[in-house]
């Protein structure tokens, strides 16, 4: 088990509560935006990589309807168990423990793919992007939602303050300060928007659109095959 995998096994029971508290509920809005920009029709087949407790998977399920199909894939068992418990109203979702770098489906299986706060944590970002390209049908889209790099020095300082002075102390109240300490270095190591666009294009995608959120504190990137 990798360190990141072990981390998500530990934080799973409190992950959603902390997300709500730390984002003031805005993560639900951003996830809906990411799914809307995929423009999936009813009855479509979609994949939610690094699905965690299944928030994005359920948004996808509402989009594609009962005639559609959604696969939620994550490498950690604990969040998947929570996702299953919360999704009994969504029979179109299949939950699967697996690796985002080697997804066990054939080429051109999905019309849309989401990955929310997961690309930053994979061991090989270019390989994850190549997998998304392989799995999408021609014309299919992938939506990447994650922390990003703010556009001004003031917002860059705010992001660091927010993570170190709000996120970690809040996590400490739940005994998870050490688990959330990883966020700031992981964001610093995450590709800047221009570098991410280049990696997406190198994976084979023809069209890339970037939507900064909150001045670039977060971002949604849409890649089309």
Is 201 within a domain?
yes
Is 49 within a domain?
yes
Neighbouring CB atoms inside 10 A of 63's CB total 20
Tokens of 34: 């990411």
Is 184 within a domain?
no
CA 181 from chain centre, in angstroms, equals 19
Is the pLDDT reported for residue 12 higher than 60? no
What total of structural domains would you count in the chain? Answer: 1
Q: What percent of the chain has pLDDT over 90?
A: 72
Kindly report the average pLDDT of the chain as a whole number. Answer: 91
Mean pLDDT computed over 85-91: 92
Tokens of 66: 């009962």
Domain housing 117: 4-150+191-224
Is 155 within a domain?
no
Query: What pTM value is reported for the model?
Result: 0.92
Domain with residue 115: its CATH number is 3.40.50.150
């Amino acid at each position: 088990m990798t360190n990141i995998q072990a981390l998500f096994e530990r934080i799973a029971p409190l992950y959603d509560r902390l997300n709500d508290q730390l984002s003031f509920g805005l993560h639900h809005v951003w996830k809906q935006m990411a799914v809307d920009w995929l423009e999936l029709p009813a009855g479509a087949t979609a994949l939610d990589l690094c699905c965690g407790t299944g928030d994005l998977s359920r948004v996808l399920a509402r989009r594609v309807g009962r005639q559609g199909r959604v696969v939620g894939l994550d490498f950690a068992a604990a969040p998947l168990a929570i996702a299953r418990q919360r999704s009994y109203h969504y029979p179109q979702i299949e939950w699967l423990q697996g690796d985002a770098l080697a997804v066990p489906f054939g080429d051109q299986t999905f019309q849309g793919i989401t990955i929310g706060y997961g690309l930053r944590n994979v061991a090989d970002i270019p390989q994850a992007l190549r997998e998304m390209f392989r799995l999408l049908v021609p014309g299919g889209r992938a939506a990447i939602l994650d922390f990003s790099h703010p556009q001004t020095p003031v917002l860059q300082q705010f992001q660091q303050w927010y993570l170190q002075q709000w996120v970690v102390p809040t996590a400490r109240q739940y005994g998870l300060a050490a688990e959330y300490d990883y966020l700031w270095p992981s964001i610093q190591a995450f590709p800047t928007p221009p570098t991410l666009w280049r990696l997406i294009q190198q994976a084979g995608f023809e069209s890339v659109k970037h939507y900064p959120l909150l001045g670039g504190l977060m971002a949604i990137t849409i890649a089309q095959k």
